[in-house]
Amino acid sequence: MSEHVRIEKPERGIVSIVLDRPDRKNAITSAMYARMREAVQAADADREARVLMLSGGGGNFTSGNDIADFQKPLMQFPSPGILFLQAISVFRKPVVAAIEGHAVGIGTTMLLHCDMVYAAETARFKLPFVNLGLCPEGASSYLLPKAAGYRLAAQLLMLGDEFDAATALRAGIATEVAPTGQALAAALQCARTLAAKPPGAMQTTKRLLRRGDAQAVAETLLVEADEFGQRRTSEEAREAFAAFFEKRAADFSRFD
Ligand code: COA
């Protein structure tokens, strides 16, 4: 069990997953994914849990997958990260996320599986998969063009540059922009409102909202996971991971 994920019950009916590894900007390890997935599945089964919240401690949501983990051989397929994404993609109750600071990689793609996302005005998002020799995951190659339109999705996924909360709002990743430091309070207020509503009607509404995409999301998650699993041991990815830890720009000039 990972000590870097806190599971809290801030109020009746609300379960909160808090990423808590501030010295690594809340980078997510396999153990953390396993803990998150277990918490999602427990909240799904728990009659008292009506809303799930996601947030990060120490001023950031997450810097994404732990890059040191990416450098290790893939021990299991689907990976713990994909298993977490699968769990949250079929979670039956509302999910509300609060984003302060950085939300990188899976820190952004997991938001496409949330129902409400409150982003601080200084929050920074990034989908750096191509720059890391990787490819989209979390069904983002399906969900992001749907939410943002092809042009913006291609810009965010192909260039992989950081983008701000206003762009996240335009891309359909964020629901609302909150003042810096207020994202969690805004998310909690929303979760409280959702938790007071009739749970049966809420779950039916979520199921109907997502029904049209459910099969495509499940399939895309697996297709992407296969490609991603191959890419993470590619020479391009090895160069990108090494460059990150050596604090230098990656050099892809030798690749065909
Ligand atoms: N995996 C492993 N370690 C990470 C990490 C990650 N995803 N993100 C940050 N860290 C580590 C850094 O290596 C650094 O370690 P050090 O103190 O030993 O040098 C420490 O966490 C602090 O990060 P730092 O880069 O100094 O913070 P910053 O505020 O300057 O930048 C980010 C924050 C998020 C912009 C930057 O850390 C970053 O780009 N991280 C990688 C994001 C990424 O590509 N994730 C994978 C997505 S698929």
Tell me the pLDDT of the chain (256 aa) as tens digits. Answer: 579 999 999 999 999 999 999 999 999 999 999 999 999 999 999 999 999 999 999 999 999 999 999 999 888 889 999 999 999 999 999 999 999 999 999 999 999 999 999 999 999 999 999 999 999 999 999 999 999 999 999 999 999 999 999 999 999 999 999 999 999 999 999 999 999 999 999 999 999 999 999 999 999 999 999 999 999 999 999 999 999 999 999 999 999 8
Tell me the best of 4, 25, 84, 227 to mutate to test the pocket of ligand 1, counting ligand atoms within 8 Å of each CB and taking the most.
25
Report pTM.
Answer: 0.98
CA distance 32 to 28: 6
Q: Which fold has domain 2-180?
A: 2-enoyl-CoA Hydratase; Chain A, domain 1 (3.90.226)
Is 92:203 a contact under the CB 8 Å cutoff?
Answer: yes
CA distance 92 to 118: 20
Q: Which residues line ligand 1 (CB under 6 A)?
A: 24-25, 27, 63-68, 102, 104-105, 128-129, 132
Give which of 139, 136, 34 is closest to 79, Cα–Cα. Answer: 34
* Phi, psi at 189, each rounded to 5°: -60, -45
Tell me the best of 63, 126, 127, 239 to mutate to test the pocket of ligand 1, counting ligand atoms within 8 Å of each CB and taking the most.
63
**What single letter denotes the amino acid at residue 158?**
M
